[in-house]
Amino acid sequence: MLVLIIWVMGAALLLINIFLRTRILRLEARLKELSNPKEQLAFLRQQASKKEKIAAIKALRKQYPEISLIEANRLWQQI
């Protein structure tokens, strides 16, 4: 009986985890849709004039947390 209760609780936690993970992925995708790459590039250009590459990319990622390091590096290469 105890094993069945533990198994049911584990299955419930797994379903909750899957539900929350898909919700997070949908929210991240929506956030990327709302972000403007031209605005991000303009911010990076402004930072590049003041700072070196690493500091500018850190400032960009602080301003736009949805940007990954790879995406920030690609934006830097566009400058």
Start-to-end CA distance of the chain, whole Å, equals 64
**pLDDT given at position 10:** 96
Each of the 79 residues of the chain gets a pLDDT tens digit; together they read 889 999 999 999 999 999 999 999 999 888 887 778 888 888 888 888 888 889 999 999 998 888 889 989 998 998 8
Q: Please state, in angstroms and rounded to a whole number, the distance separating the CA atoms of residues 7 and 25.
A: 27
Rounded to 5°, angle at Cα 65 from 29 and 34: 40
Contact 61, 53 (CB under 8 A): no
